[in-house]
Structure 1
Amino acid sequence: MEWTDEAIVLSVRQHGESASVLEVLTRDHGRTAGLVRGSRKLKPVMQPGNSVQLVWRARLSEHLGSFAVEPARARAGALMENREALIGLNAFSSLASATLPERAPYYDPVFVAANILLDAMMEDGIAHWGALYVRWEAGLLETLGFGLDLKSCAATGETENLIYVSPKSGRAVSEAAGAPYKGRLFVLPPFLSDPAAQISLEDISVGLALTGHFLLERALRPNGKQMPQARLRLEALAAETGRESK
Structure 2
Amino acid sequence: MSYEAHFKVWRGDADGGSLVDYTVTVNEGEVVLDIIHRLQATEAADLAVRWNCKAGKCGSCSAEINGRPRLMCMTRMSLLDPAEPVVVTPMRAFPVVRDLVTDVSFNYAKAREVPSFVPPAGVGPGEYRMQQEDVGRSQEFRKCIECFLCQDTCHVVRDHEENKPVFAGPRFLMRVAELDMHPLDGAAEAGIDRKRAAQEEHGLGYCNITKCCTEVCPEHIKITDNALIPLKERAVDRKYDPLVWLGSRIRRRA
TM, length-normalised to structure 1: 0.29
Q: In terms of Rg, which structure is larger? A: 2
TM, length-normalised to structure 2: 0.29
